[in-house]
Homo-oligomer: A and B are copies of this chain.
Amino acid sequence: EAQRQTDQDEEVLKILVATDIHLGYCERDAVRAQDSMESFEEVLKIAKAHDVDLLLLGGDLFHDNKPSRQCLHECLRLLRKYCMGDRPCSLELMSNPEENFHTPFGGINYEDPNYNVAMPVFSIHGNHDDPSSSHASKQALCALDLLSVSNLVNYFGRAREVDDITISPILLQKGSTRLALYGLGNIRDERLHRTFLTKKVKMLRPSENEDSWFNLFCLHQNRVKHGATNYIPENFLPNFLDLVIWGHEHECKIKPGRESTNFFITQPGSTIATSLSEGESKPKHVGLLQIKGSKQFKMEEIPLTTVRPFFLDEIILSENEDLDPAHSDAVEEFVAEKVKSLIRKSKRVFAEQKKRDPSVTERLPLIRLKVEYTGFSPFNTQRFGQQFVSKVANPKELLLFHRKRATATRSSNTRGE
């Protein structure tokens, strides 16, 4: 009933799926500066190790709309290192690349005779790296355009206007497996919501034998409802789709599932925690998607090992009867003990990892303790954090004080990034 198994063979089209890599996030942080790059490199290594036919990225490759020079340079370096090479690409492009890709050269990168591309990367843009124009007279470009013009990324899914959208699929064939890949880079949710309601989002079907294609759609929007139109309801998407890759939501829910729709949805989640929320504290994975024929697919979840450990917990001060709001030192001591126990937990988890894989290196953990302080006074979190410098990766943001938990607080954890 769920997803169907396929065999490993020459007919299988293999795609590594990842999203929200947020290159450059925390790049000026003394501890975390390399985190986003290390996970990106791990994604590239996994893609290479599995000899995939393509790497598909679901937006927010860059954290900043204008990445720093260092960030852009490192991204170019990694793409060149892992994506260029002699390995022949066995994917045959059956559609018109001029309709598919945003590049002045009009093609798909591995067909350019001047470049040996071993592993093509395909990406849509997210809300963090969307096209913007510095001034009106010039064409809007995004950071992905720099990767595209350098022939390192196939940038697709860029709608010409937001109120009337026609998506032409990229048609790729490997043996008898045929993939129709649809993409739509981020558009402000309210705008896109309305464009769907006015029936102005058209997804073209292949003219030839439309039922013989596996229909994959990659988008980068709110999936969780925030207000009436500030998200894209799953059932807005057309039923001919087989699988949807949903970017922007950072919580890893990569196992393909379906509730109200005919098609499956996979939500890979980010490869780095850009907020200290519950969703981001869950284990992070990328997906090895294997497609065979027109309808068979399976998705293998591959855990990322470079992601900085992140432990999140909550305490309610008033539930502890020994604590006296008048003795603030004792209260701080109590909270510090709780942080220390999370650090110990991190060390235990690392020790277990190390048993399984002696090559792993220890990383300072991200620790977040939510403190419900009703009846108590909050204290200075910056000063509190000083004792944990060199013990945690985020000494300045260890604690989050709040009064009585409201439902709103919970739901904000699931906000897309």
Q: In the complex this chain forms, how many copies of it are found?
A: 2
Summarize A's interface: helix, strand, loop or mixed.
loop
Query: Using an 8 Å CB-CB cutoff, how does the interface string of A3-40 with B read, 1 for contact, 0 for none?
Result: 00000000000000000000000001010010000000
Question: Could you tell me the distance between the alpha carbons of A69 and B67 in the complex, rounded to whole angstroms?
Answer: 10
Which one of A108-116, A276-284, A298-306, A323-331 contacts B? A108-116
Contacting pair B70 A141 (CB below 8 A):
yes
Known: A77-B149, A115-B115. A138 touches B84 (CB 8 A): no
Q: How many residues of A contact B (CB 8 A)?
A: 35
On chain B, the residues within 8 Å of A243 by CB distance are: none
* Residues of A132-182 contacting chain B, CB below 8 A: 134-135, 137-139, 141-143, 145-146, 149-152
On chain B, the residues within 8 Å of A84 by CB distance are: 114-115
* Residues of A94-123 contacting chain B, CB below 8 A: 104-105, 113-116
Known: A77-B149, A104-B77. A68 touches B134 (CB 8 A): yes
- Who on chain B is nearest to A116 by CB? B114
Most buried by B among A28, A69, A84, A86: A69
On chain B, the residues within 8 Å of A66 by CB distance are: 69
Query: Using an 8 Å CB-CB cutoff, how does the interface string of A251-279 with B read, 1 for contact, 0 for none?
Result: 00000000000000000000000000000
A-B contact pairs, 16 of them (CB 8 A): A28-B135, A28-B137, A33-B137, A69-B145, A69-B146, A70-B138, A70-B139, A73-B141, A73-B146, A76-B146, A76-B149, A76-B150, A77-B104, A80-B151, A84-B115, A114-B116
